[in-house]
Amino acid sequence: MSHKIALIPGDGIGTTVIEAAIRVAEKAAPGLLVPTSFDWSCDTWLKTGRMMPQDGIEILRGYDAIFLGAVGWPAKVPDSVSLHGLLLPIRKAFVQYANIRPHRLLPGVQGPLRKERFDILCIRENTEGEYSGAGGRVHQGTSSEVAVETAIFTRAGVERILRFGFEQAMARSKRLASVTKSNAQKYTMVFWDEVTDQLAAEFPEVEVTHYHVDAIAARMVMAPESLDVIVASNLFGDILSDLGAAIQGGLGFAASANIDPTRQNPSMFEPVHGSAPDIAHLGIANPIAAIWSLRMMLDHLGEAAAAARIMRAIEAVTARGIGTVPGQDRTDAITAAILDELEGE
């Protein structure tokens, strides 16, 4: 059976890495994905005043999954406009509350810590918290200006992401790190800690540890082997997943899945990285994060065999030292090596 995919390449290297990933999809499983491309981006905003059409969400609802490159080009459109006009509304509208970000060293990649092994699964709350969008500014531009940005944590929202985290821990090492800043944030984060403890009673086999976000950031660098599944709020998960990406060798390796676990809405797959304006025209973006995200999409769509073929090809290529050092190999060369590997299967 084929799957209808909405492609949103977006801005900067988003377009490059999505093109590379689609070539890989066509080689690994010809005809399995039927992509339709949408040119929603900062350029679209400059032309139309919108990042996506008014009925963009309704258009996307008709697809089995969404595959996105990157959104944002701050020199043309303020990030607060572009991200709130495209990426963030999709995550919210489709209740993609679980953002799954695997951070692990691929064969042949050393990473800055020079660890033999690094393997953490970051589960990030993806629809509320610090990204609620609630807030405002008063007395703008005056010396009495005040800006407020309200983090909103609902019991339903906190419970479902923590439950998802516990379930992921059950499927891995049965260790779960719950991340807060409850020493400083006495409402939202104390609440998160309480819900963690309540759910822990339902998962007696899972060993839960509470960490403050500052402490776990240090631990990810100093003793990453002591961590396995991490569950964190929207903002904390965002920051920890760039740290995870750095430890796995760079942003070009970090994949992600924005999942609606109820499967009532399409889920969205995208690399963790952004549009990388600093390298966008150099042809050196690493496509592996996007290709790994494609693999996560195929797994989600029930195409385990194609997903596994793609991951084997990525790993065979990095094991040969191709694409392992940022900037060393060109996007085309990394993609061609993965295509060759698939050809040889």
237 lies in the site for ligand NAD, by CB under 6 A: no
Phi/psi for 183 (5° steps) reads -75, -25
Nearer to ligand NAD, 74 or 261 (CB): 74
**Among 9, 129, 274, 323, contact with ligand NAD (rule: CB under 6 A):** 274
d(CA 223, CA 118): 10
**Among 195, 213, 289, 301, contact with ligand NAD (rule: CB under 6 A):** 289
In Å, the largest CA–CA distance within the chain is: 67
276 lies in the site for ligand NAD, by CB under 6 A: yes
Phi/psi for 270 (5° steps) reads -160, 150
Smallest separation (angstroms) from ligand NAD to the CB of 108: 16
74 lies in the site for ligand NAD, by CB under 6 A: yes
Show the site string, 14-33: x = touches ligand NAD by CB under 6 A, - = not: ---x----------------
Phi/psi for 203 (5° steps) reads -125, 65
Rg (CA), the chain: 20
Q: Return the one option of ligand NAD, ligand IPM, Mn ion, none that residue 326 interacts with (CB less than 5 to 8 A, by type).
A: ligand NAD
Q: Which amino acid, residue 225?
A: E
240 lies in the site for ligand NAD, by CB under 6 A: no
Beta strands in 11-164 (DSSP E): 33-37, 65-70, 98-104, 119-125, 129-138, 146-152
238 lies in the site for ligand NAD, by CB under 6 A: no
Smallest separation (angstroms) from ligand NAD to the CB of 290: 7
Q: Quick check: 120 and 227 in contact, CB under 8 A?
A: yes
Edge-first strand listing for the sheet containing 33-37: 33-37, 3-10, 65-70, 267-271, 255-259, 98-104, 119-125, 229-232, 175-180, 207-212
Show the site string, 25-54: x = touches Mn ion by CB under 5 A, - = not: ------------------------------
**Among 11, 19, 125, 238, contact with Mn ion (rule: CB under 5 A):** 238
341 lies in the site for Mn ion, by CB under 5 A: no
* Binding stretches for ligand NAD (CB under 6 A): 13, 17, 70-74, 79, 83, 87, 251-252, 270, 273-279, 285-286, 289, 326
